[in-house]
Amino acid sequence: MENRLLKSREDYYVQTNNERDGVNACQRTAGAQCLHLIGEVNKIKGPYKQPEDNLDWLANDPASPYSAGIKELAKHSHGADMGIPKSVGNILEWADVLCATINAVVDYNASGYHEFEADRIAAEIDKGLPVMVSMRFPERNIRGHYVSVVGYEIKDNQRYFIILDPYKNTLKNEPDGFCVPYSPQDWVAHYKGYGIRFYKRG
């Protein structure tokens, strides 16, 4: 049994080709990926070709009509320095700030969540909704990395989640992050328990 929301590699978003920052970009790239899957991504407007770059511009550039308000939210939620380590340097690494940016520019209602169990995520997939999740990879010294859950398959009575990793296959440390299967053991070892959920209008 398999339920997969994305089957074409042509619709796979990768962060390494981002114009503004291809390194610290997993969160907004995964966000754009999920918006693509529910038909909302074309509403993100800005001076760049790719929606994830436009999300970055909309939140961070003083020329953006949304930037001042989004930065105020980041300061209110995460402190005067917005809580972002200098090594990352982007307020969109916070889920609440990314949600606020998406909701402002798309007129949408994405929401952060905590403590989604695997069954709840599978139920979202069954409704045709991707889920953006935060992962950790201590074996690679990665404390946080966002990916998109876009399906699952049942093999040998076990559920394997299908992951779009915008950077690479971080689980196996391989270059291709397209539709990476995560076994139940992989999931438990790496899932941090929170992320962003989406919905379809109407």
State pLDDT tens for residues 4-63. Answer: 999 899 999 999 999 998 888 999 999 999 999 999 999 999 999 999 999 999 999 999
pLDDT tens, residue by residue, 149-179:
999 999 999 999 999 999 999 999 999 999 9
Cα separation, 163 vs 148, in Å, equals 6
pTM: 0.94
Cα separation, 24 vs 89, in Å, equals 8
pLDDT tens, residue by residue, 62-119:
999 999 999 999 999 888 878 776 666 788 888 899 999 999 999 998 898 888 899 9
Cα separation, 95 vs 167, in Å, equals 18
Helical (H) or strand (E) element with 102: helix 95-106
